Structure 1
Amino acid sequence: MSSLQRDFNQKIDYVFKVVLIGDSAVGKSQLLARFTRNEFNIDSKATIGVEFQTKTLVIDHKTVKAQIWDTAGQERLGLSSSMYAGDGGSPRYRAVTSAYYRGAVGAMLVYDTTKRQSFDHVARWLEELRGHADKNIVVMLVGNKSDLGSLRAVPIEDAKEFAQRETLFFMETSALEATNVESAFVTVLTEIYRIISKKNLVANEQESGGNASLLKGTAIVIPGQEPESGGKSFSCCASS
C-alpha cells in the first residue's frame, strides 16, 4: 500500500507545517531524510529550491501529520544581499520568504557544531523567522553533526545560553548516527500539539459559556481535518 493510500485510509487529526532554516551545508536535508525515511546519504547535494517530506505519528492518541519543509540556505534567500547587508532583499526575495514561512507552526533552526559562522548567523535567522511566522511558532535550536566532536567549534554552553535567552528548545543531533533526530522533531511536534489543543479547549469553553468570540489572531482551519460538527479554527497558524 502506498503512503498516499494510507493517508486516505487513515484519519488525520492535525497537519502541522514545520520549516527547516539555517545556513547551507549544516545538514538540514539530512535531518529531514533521517526523520522521515530513516536515511542518510553521504553524497547528498545542496538543496535547490523548496521541497518537503511528510511523516505521520501519534501524539496523545491523535494522528498528526508533520509536513516538513526544507530549502536552500544562503542560496534560497539571497542572503549575500539581505542577511549580511541588511537591505531587506528584493521583492522576489520577500515573496519567496513569506511563502516559505506562511502557515508554519514549528521551526528547526539548524547550525553546524563544527562551523562557528553557522552558529553566529542563527540570531539573524531567528529574526527573519519571527518577522514572517506566527508569534506562537515553536522553535528548536539544533546543533547538528555532534558526531564530529574533535572538530567542534561551537561549545554547547554557547548554544544553551542562546536558546535560554531566546526561549527556544535546544538539542544537539547527528543525522549521520541518528542521534536525537527523532527526539528533536517529536519534541517540537508535541509542543505544537499541546499549544493548539489548549487553544482549542479555551475556544470551546468560551463558546459553551455563551461567548461566541474566538481567540485573538488569525483563525486558520487546519487542512486534513473534517470534524463531524463543522470546521474548527485555531489562532495558532497551520499549514496551508
Structure 2
Amino acid sequence: MPVILLVEDESPIRDMVRFALSRAGMEMLDAEDVARAEQILVSRRPDLILLDWMLPEENGIELLRRLRKDPERKDIPIIMLTAMAEEEQKVRGLEVGADDYVTKPFSPPELVARIKAVLRRATGADESGVIRIGELAMNTATHEVYCGETGIELGPTEYRLLKFLLSHPDRVYSRTQLLDYVWSDADAPEERTVDVGIRRLRKALQPGGCDQLIKTVRGAGYSLARKDQSA
C-alpha cells in the first residue's frame, strides 16, 4: 500500500484527499505545516509527498529545497499543490525539484492519476505497474512476484523490502536506513531484524535463482544489483 504524506493547512482539503486516497488503496499521513511534516519524516518514509505551496509560518517550496539536499530523502517524489496557475510559479517549483504540480481546485480522480503516474516513474514501473530487473519482476498492482516463470510467495514485510530495493537498484542501504524505510519503529527495534528479513527474502527468491541479485556489502549494508553487475 503506497504511503502518501499530504502537507496542507486546509482541513477540508485534507479530508477530501484522505477519502480519495483511501478509495485508491493508499495510506495517507497528514501535516498542517512544514514543522509537523518534518516531524513525521523523522519516523516515516512516505512513497510520495503532496506539498502545498502556501503554508503558515514557512512555505512548501522551502521544505522542497531542504528535502532535495537531504541525502536520506532527496529521492522521495514530490507533487506540489498550488493555487498559483502562473507558468512562472510552476516552472519555479519544477526547477527546485518538484516531480509534478497540481493546480487548485483539483478533482480527486486527477490527483490520484497524477500520483500513480509519478509513482510509476519513481519506481521504474511500466504502465501496468510492473517493476522488472533481469528475471525478477514485481507487479505492484496485483502484488505478484516472478523470477522468470517461477511465481514467488512473499510475506508482507518481505514484499515491502523487495519493492524498496527494486525501486532503488544498485544503491547500498544500511540496516538503519532499511529499518526507517521498510519497517516501523514498533516492528523493528533492532538492526538484526533487517538481516532476518533479507535472509527470508533470499530464501523465497532462491527457487528461481533471483536471490543472487541481493548483495551484502560488507560494512555498509545491502543492495539489489542489476543482473549484469551481480557477478
Q: Report the TM range for the smaller structure's normalisation.
A: 0.3 to 0.5
Q: Which has the higher contact order (CA 8 A, sep 6+)?
A: 1
TM-score, with structure 1 as normaliser:
0.46
Which structure has more helix as a fraction of its residues?
2
